[in-house]
Amino acid sequence: MTSVYIGCGAGFAGDRFDAAVPVVATLSNLHGERFLIYEVLAERTLAIAQKLRRENPDQGYSPFLDTYLPLVLADCHRHGIRIVTNMGAANPLGAARRVHVLARELGIRGLKVAAVTGDDLLATLSDAQIRALPIIEGIALGERTIVSANAYLGAQCIAEALATGAQVVLVGRTTDAALSLGPLIHVHGWGAGDLERLAQGTACGHLLECGAQLTGAYFAEPGFKDVPDLARVGFPIAEVAADGDLVVTKAAGTGGRVSRGTVIEQLLYEVHDPHNYLTPDVVLDIGEVTVEEIGTDRVRVSGARGKPPPLTLKATVCVDAGWLGEAEISYAGPNALARAELAASIVRSRCRAIGISDPVRVEVLGTQAIFDSDTQARRARLSPARDGEYRVRAAVRTATRKRAQQVADEVLSLYCSGPAAGAGVRQHVTTQVATVSVLVERTRVHPTVTLLEAP
Amino acid sequence: MSDVQVPLHAVAHARAGDKGNRSNISVIPYLPEGFAPLVEELTEERVLAVFAHKGATRVKRYLLPKLPAMNFVIDDALEGGVNASLCLDGHGKALSYLLLGDVTVRVPEECIPADSPYRKALGL
């Protein structure tokens, strides 16, 4: 019986650039069908990619493609490890062409690369049709400019891409779990009715999609949840049998830990109703799942159940959402808290005086402000130390860059016009994209696989 | 064995995630015997109270006795979420530790792991 091994090389755009190297080294010593996935596409990432593609039709794929793939492409090709990734972003075909360029530079011959398209609703629906789709989460679209609109494709199109013999598969928006489930459907031949196996495969994809969050990262807490050698944390590898048996482990010779605790935390990560985790392939029910340590850094996950998937697909629409202006300044040493709080009150007064009508949040970092509200409702219950190190932060969301900068500049001016010894101002003024989740009928979404042979 | 009054942090670990303006926080007892007392102590009402100042409107608790763990889904806990929040933590990634620190639970002392720093602090 063929086992499938799936390693994860990145859990978000910006994940550790060389994390996949030990994963590939481990996979190359295993026998069976082996895959390496990279998940780099947050909801907003696609909006940025879509803007880049509009400026240059060759661009719009993930800029991390050039960061991640050259480190592993030759070894993956040599050992028959196939890569599945959503680095296609807004331009999977452009990404596929770029992979061929990288392969040529690395001296790799005969690489087959497939691109999956069809998630981009801007290519198939009119602006009015997109605005008419029912909203399930987020703000009303109103008059806001639509930057991107992408349906979440399922695993089937990835399985089809692998069936072409492609060694690298580039997708845009799919569910994150599909990056793992696609290879499993391809190798094990699971059908749409194999609900329990699809559920186990979806659980596998869900566990892998955030990289080291399964292997001790976003987990470690000294004295309570100690994780060895977190600086060299190994990224996860899953072993999945044809009957859905699922064991998760990590790259050999690395730091980190795979335990019941790390697995259960990730199993529930960003899950709402654990009995109804909706995907285009299966509705996953983890209510009866058991998690068992079967060896060092080896955990078996069993008992996922499946129900037929919904008739509609979720899609994310990204719209322009004005500007975020932020700035910070520090106060340290004796009586730092009072100086910081005076600075905060000055910024509030100044924002009123210059006519900023949008809500401005002004807070003192070091007083558990990250737990607090815009009005610092929680701060009143705390008694922070008088001396120490505190940092004042102001933030505003507003329609124009000018007003966002004005608020940031009220913090900057504290250098010479605020309390004693204000230091270390940083400003950050950025454009913002808001996301809206909508539903679209499956019949309006047509995934297409394109195989690009080496030129 | 007697009961002790401790922060949730002594008995369980937790992880927060977001979708829109909704936060989910898993709460996982360090020891299986911690699950039943937490089911009694960690009610939807108590969790809602922890996030009330953020504007939370509703909490739904899901129990997963086979793990064992529980999952809290907290509506409107993220001040609009990454789309709208002015908080440094628009995703609410740190909120698991707000729950672990702000809730005090009464549990049998065997629910606290043998190597927990809380045992020393409590003189156990």
Average pLDDT value for residue range A27-34 = 97
The answer to whether the beta carbons of residues A110 and A168 sit under 8 Å apart is no
Between CA A223 and CA A243 the distance in angstroms is: 39
CB spacing of A303 vs B66 below 8 angstroms = yes
A429 contacts chain B (CB < 8 A): no
pLDDT averaged over chain B? 96
Q: What is the pLDDT of residue A262?
A: 98
* Res A441 pLDDT > 80: yes
How many angstroms separate the CA of residue A395 from the nearest CA in chain B?
Answer: 6
CB spacing of A268 vs B53 below 8 angstroms = no
Helix (H) or strand (E) holding A88: none
Between CA A236 and CA A249 the distance in angstroms is: 6
How many angstroms separate the CA of residue A285 from the nearest CA in chain B?
Answer: 11
Tell me the pTM: 0.97
Q: How many domains does chain B have?
A: 1
Residues in chain A within 8 Å Cβ distance of B99 = none
Identity of residue A240: V
A53 Cβ contact partners less than 8 Å away, ≥ 6 residues apart: A59, A60, A90, A91, A94
Helices (H) and strands (E) in chain A, counts: 13, 19
Which residues between 82 and 121 in chain B have a beta carbon less than 8 angstroms from any beta carbon of chain A? 82-84, 86-89, 94-95, 98, 116-117
Find the CB nearest A370 among B66, B69, B89: B89
pLDDT tens sequence across A323-332:
999 999 999 9
* Res A178 pLDDT > 70: yes
Helix (H) or strand (E) holding A269: none
Strand ranges in A308-354 using DSSP code E only, listed in sequence order? 312-333
A290 contacts chain B (CB < 8 A): yes
Query: Which structural domain range is residue B16 located in?
Result: 3-122
Higher pLDDT pick, A421 / B120: A421
Instruction: Give the percent of chain A with pLDDT over 70.
Output: 100
Average pLDDT value for residue range A348-360 = 98
Nearest to B64 by CA among A103, A336, A289, A339: A289
Between CA A146 and CA B26 the distance in angstroms is: 34
Q: What is the pLDDT of residue B20?
A: 87
Number of neighbours of residue A55 by Cβ within 10 angstroms: 8
How many angstroms separate the CA of residue A105 from the nearest CA in chain B?
Answer: 40
Q: What dotted CATH number matches A317-437?
A: 3.30.70.1120
Q: Taking CA atoms, what residue in B is nearest to A326? A: B86
Average pLDDT value for residue range A407-422 = 98
Length of chain A equals 455
Domains of chain A by residue range = 4-118+153-310, 317-437
Nearest to A348 by CA among A407, A268, A388: A407
Q: Which of B31, B50, B87 to mutate to test the interface with A (most CBs of A within 10 A)?
A: B87
Asked if the bond preceding B68 is cis, omega within 30° of 0, the reply is yes
Helix (H) or strand (E) holding A154: none
Sheet holding A277-278, edge to edge: A277-278, A283-285, A305-307
Please list the alpha-helical segments (H only) found in A367-453: 401-412, 414-417
Nearest to B73 by CA among B26, B15, B40: B26
Average pLDDT value for residue range A408-418 = 98
The answer to whether the beta carbons of residues A412 and A425 sit under 8 Å apart is yes
In the structure, what pLDDT confidence band is assigned to residue A243 with cuts at 50, 70 and 90? very high
* Res B1 pLDDT > 80: no
CB spacing of A269 vs B17 below 8 angstroms = yes
Average pLDDT value for residue range A132-152 = 91
Q: What is the pLDDT of residue A44?
A: 85
Average pLDDT value for residue range A76-105 = 98
* Res A200 pLDDT > 70: yes
Nearest to A262 by CA among A277, A249, A271, A273: A249
In the structure, what pLDDT confidence band is assigned to residue A405 with cuts at 50, 70 and 90? very high
ipTM of the complex: 0.98
User: Encoding tokens for residue A86?
Assistant: 């959503």
pLDDT tens sequence across A40-54:
999 888 989 999 999
Q: What is the pLDDT of residue B101?
A: 98
Q: At B118, which CATH number?
A: 3.30.70
pLDDT tens sequence across A253-280:
999 999 999 999 999 999 999 999 999 9
Residues in chain A within 8 Å Cβ distance of B92 = none
Helix (H) or strand (E) holding A247: strand A246-250
Identity of residue B24: N
* Res A1 pLDDT > 80: no
Its sign, for the CA torsion B9, B99, B15, A216, is: negative
Q: Taking CA atoms, what residue in B is nearest to A222? A: B117
